[in-house]
Amino acid sequence: MTAMVILDADLDPEQEITITRNDRDLIQLTGSRLAYGAVLTRRELLVLALMASENRAANALGRTYPGGMKALVQAMNRKAADLGMSNSVFRDPAGLDPGNVSTAADLLKMLNAVEEYPLIRAATTTASRKVHPYPDRGPLRYVNTNRLLKNNAWEIQLSKTGYLNEAGRCLVMQARVDDRDLSVILLDSFGKLTPFGDANRLRRWLREQGPESYLAARETGTGSPD
């Protein structure tokens, strides 16, 4: 949602943004590889926030949004309302505030909307990326948080992972399985690898059941890939 709102604002993607103390996480106290003084373009910050869940990058995007963080969060909630996400509330750009809430049905609406944003689809399916935020140091290499991108059995078109103690391990993803579009939304998994294992099990079940399983899942909601 942060990325969609940033892109909707048509801001200069090549504008350089400097990381400051205002971008640190004071909610969950997570760390970051982007030290104060790091400089990246808006596009690079978007990519790192999307593919590697770089929270300081997301906060910097919110801080530099026209009107600041408050205006960004307001825009996120307006966007959610426009998409019909009636059970979702957004409180911050990095998803660190436990007050951020949503449902599987609402997240499916967001997944469908993101199909219109090529940069988001490309960033979330990039396996790794090197950036150069410091003029006097070597590059930083970031790796996608969705390890299924390393699995050639998957044809992933869009993905995002997330984690908070309050939310558990989460994964949303769009993929092609046997020439069919599949939306996967897994919330509140306990183990670090559980969402990826569950996605593999879901994919295997659908392939074993055959084409009729896709139609049955859509009609009944039982074992639904949506």
Residues 36 and 5 in one domain: yes
pLDDT in tens, the chain (226 residues): 999 999 999 999 999 999 999 999 999 999 999 999 999 999 999 999 999 999 999 999 999 999 999 999 999 999 999 999 999 999 999 999 999 999 999 999 999 999 899 999 999 999 999 999 999 999 999 999 999 999 999 999 999 999 999 999 999 999 999 888 999 999 999 899 999 999 999 999 888 886 665 555 555 444 444 3
Which residues 6+ apart lie within 8 Å of 196 measured at CB? 146, 147, 148, 171
Give pTM, 2 decimals: 0.90
Least Cα distance to 6 among 87, 114, 167 occurs for: 114
Residues 149 and 125 in one domain: no
Which residues 6+ apart lie within 8 Å of 182 measured at CB? 174, 175, 176, 203, 206, 214, 225
SS3 221: coil
Residues 130 and 27 in one domain: yes
Question: How many domains, in total, are found in the chain?
Answer: 2
Residues 101 and 208 in one domain: no
Are 7 and 120 in contact, with CB atoms under 8 Å apart? yes
**Which residue range(s) make up the domain with 186?**
145-226
- Cα–Cα dist 166/144, whole Å: 22
Are 54 and 32 in contact, with CB atoms under 8 Å apart? yes
- Cα–Cα dist 126/128, whole Å: 6
